[in-house]
Amino acid sequence: MINRWLVFAACMFAGGGLGFWTYSKDGLVAGVVLGALVWLMLDSFYVARLLKWLRVEQSDEGPVAMASRVPAMPGVWGEAADRTRRLLKSRDQRLLESQARLDEFLAAMQASPSGVVLLDAQGRIEWCNQIATQHFGFDAQRDVMQHIANLVREPAFKAYMALADFSHDVVIPGSASTPTRPVKLSVHVHSYGKDRKLLLSRDITAVELAEAMRRDFVANVSHEIRTPLTVLSGFIETLQTLPLTEPERSRYLAMMAQQSQRMQTLVNDLLTLSRLEGSPFPGINEWITTGALLAQCEQEAKALSVLLAPQGHQLAFDLGPPCEIAGVQAEIYSAMSNLVTNAVRYTPDGGKVEVSWKLLDDGRGEFKVRDSGPGIAPEHLPRLTERFYRVDRSRSRETGGTGLGLAIVKHVTQRHSAELHIESRLGQGSCFVMTFPAARVRRIQPG
């Protein structure tokens, strides 16, 4: 500040001196005034420069551009410019940092597996992530500041927003939902800040499906067990209350044994399924010979054929080249035997069942069961491996089926990285093929 006064005094002194030197006494005052005016003009020039620079800096240029253009000015204005530059620089730095933090925060919300929508106090969309755009069919750019109620028109959602009871979620169909492929969303609103809302959406289609399957499964198991139980308790009551002859008695006991066998088979299949679902995938250290597996299946098929068909079936077993499969013996046998016994059970008396093992050119192993039975209509094929899914209910029951055989086959196939392929046409028989990967199959060298 002292410098400023010194410059001012120097200007006046120089002006006064020049005036006095030119016009003696009269020129002194004029010279002083002129000196003051020159100082004022110089000062105004620097102020104007500073203001011009400040105006430019308030436009959207960054701190780097700003720092490079500080006007060179002497004295107090130079210092003012320098201090202002430093202030602006630290402000811009802070702005950049908070922008980076905001970007990181938004990137984290973008990465969220749930849909995230930020709503303002009026319920307008301020921001939403990619998942939310898929869930609700929003356009992340176009729909910003649109009222959510104009975009999500589901009555249940409207009622939820109107009641403003956000202690629970609401389940609504997703924008991609169709009658054949329903999509269910769980939407939960959380209040924050001043009347603002955070809306979270979650695709619960798979969860709901699993829950429906669990309910169906429990209902199916209960039904399957209740039927033989009802029959059994009926027989017990008869045995207890009626005076029966010995032949009648032994007939009833035989029927009771059949029902209890049915329950036992069901419980065994259920236990097998739960073991398959709950145990780790088999490694490749246990090797089972295909010859032994197929021979066991053949014996079983023959025994079953004798029981079910008076004339018998034409059974043909082609053991193929001697090989080994890596996996769990009990599981692989269970899958193969289910396919073979199904073929025998569903093929009418006198029909043909062909079972074969083949080593394919690419090293994979193919186990094939072909029958000349009734075949399966195409609409049933995709659901055939579901638990308790039956096409021919009465034939399944008559022949001791539990409805779990192909579900077991599917699990064993998956656990051994194999593939199950079903080909069937109504009236033209069926063909079930299990293909084991090359890594799990090896040929046994003779000798």
Q: Which of 27, 31, 35, 401 binds ligand ADP (CB under 6 A)?
A: 401
Under the binding rule (CB under 6 A), the answer on residue 370 touching ligand ADP is no
Q: Running DSSP on this structure, what letter comes out for residue 124? A: B
**Smaller CB distance to ligand ADP: residue 209 or 426?**
426
Tell me if 16 contacts ligand ADP by CB under 6 A: no
Residue 145, both tokens: 């500041």
For the chain, report the end-to-end CA distance as a whole number of angstroms: 109
Residue 35 binds to ligand ADP (criterion: CB under 6 A): no
Long-range contacts of 355-358 (CB under 8 A, 24+ apart): 355/294, 355/297, 355/298, 355/301, 355/315, 355/316, 355/317, 355/318, 356/317, 356/318, 356/320, 357/290, 357/294, 357/318, 357/319, 357/320, 357/321, 357/323, 358/318, 358/320, 358/321
Using the contact rule CB under 6 A, the part of the chain among 115-123, 328-336, 355-363, 386-394 near ligand ADP is 386-394
Q: Judged by CB under 6 A, which of 148, 384, 433, 441 binds ligand ADP?
A: 384
Site for ligand ADP in 300-339 (CB under 6 A): 338
Give the pair of three-digit tokens for residue 233: 């308790």
From residue 63, alpha-carbon distances to 78, 81, 100, 207 in Å are: 18, 14, 16, 52
Could you say which DSSP state residue 144 is in?
T
CB of 418 to ligand ADP, least distance (A): 17
In 163-214, where do the E strands start and end? 170-173, 184-192, 196-203
Nearer to ligand ADP among residue 4 and residue 425 (C-beta): 425
Which stretch in 96-104, 314-322, 340-348, 435-443 sits in contact with ligand ADP by CB under 6 A? 340-348
Is residue 402 involved in binding ligand ADP (CB under 6 A)?
A: yes
User: Is residue 343 within the footprint of ligand ADP (CB under 6 A)?
Assistant: yes
Number of chain residues interacting with ligand ADP (CB under 6 A): 22
Nearer to ligand ADP, 136 or 357 (CB): 357
Smallest distance from ligand ADP to CB 303, Å: 17
Candidates 99-107, 200-208, 295-303, 383-391 — which segment interacts with ligand ADP by CB under 6 A?
383-391
Residue written as token pair 């029981």: 307
Whose Cβ is closer to ligand ADP: residue 276's or residue 391's? Answer: 391
The answer to whether residue 228 forms part of the interface with ligand ADP (CB under 6 A) is no
Give yes or no for residue 342 binding ligand ADP (CB under 6 A): yes
Q: Please give the biggest Cα pair distance in the chain.
A: 160
From 153-161, 206-214, 233-241, 402-410, give the range in contact with ligand ADP by CB under 6 A.
402-410
Least distance in angstroms from the C-beta of 228 to ligand ADP: 14
Would you say 201 or 430 has its CB closer to ligand ADP? Answer: 430
Q: Which long-range contacts (CB under 8 A, 24 or more apart) does 111-115 make?
A: 113/202, 114/200, 114/201, 114/202, 115/185, 115/199, 115/200, 115/201, 115/202
Is 351 a binding residue for ligand ADP by CB under 6 A? The answer is: no
Distance in Å, CB of 128 to ligand ADP, minimum: 45
Query: For residues 264 and 252, what is the distance between their CA atoms, to the nearest angstrom?
Result: 18
346 is an interface residue for ligand ADP by CB under 6 A: yes
Minimum distance, C-beta of residue 290 to ligand ADP, in the bound complex (Å): 21
376 binding ligand ADP? (CB under 6 A): yes
CB-nearer residue toward ligand ADP: 290 or 334: 334
Where does residue 104 rank: exposed (0-12), middle (13-18), buried (19+ CB within 10 A)?
exposed
- What does the chain come to in residues? 447
Q: How many Å apart are CA 29 and CA 126, to the nearest integer?
A: 68
CB 185 within 8 A of CB 172: yes
Using CB under 6 A, which residues numbered 417 to 436 contact ligand ADP? 430
List CB contacts of 136: < 8 A, sequence separation 6 or more.
Answer: 115, 117, 128, 151, 152, 174, 175, 201
Binding site for ligand ADP (CB under 6 A): 338, 342-343, 346, 371, 373-374, 376, 384, 389-392, 396, 401-407, 430
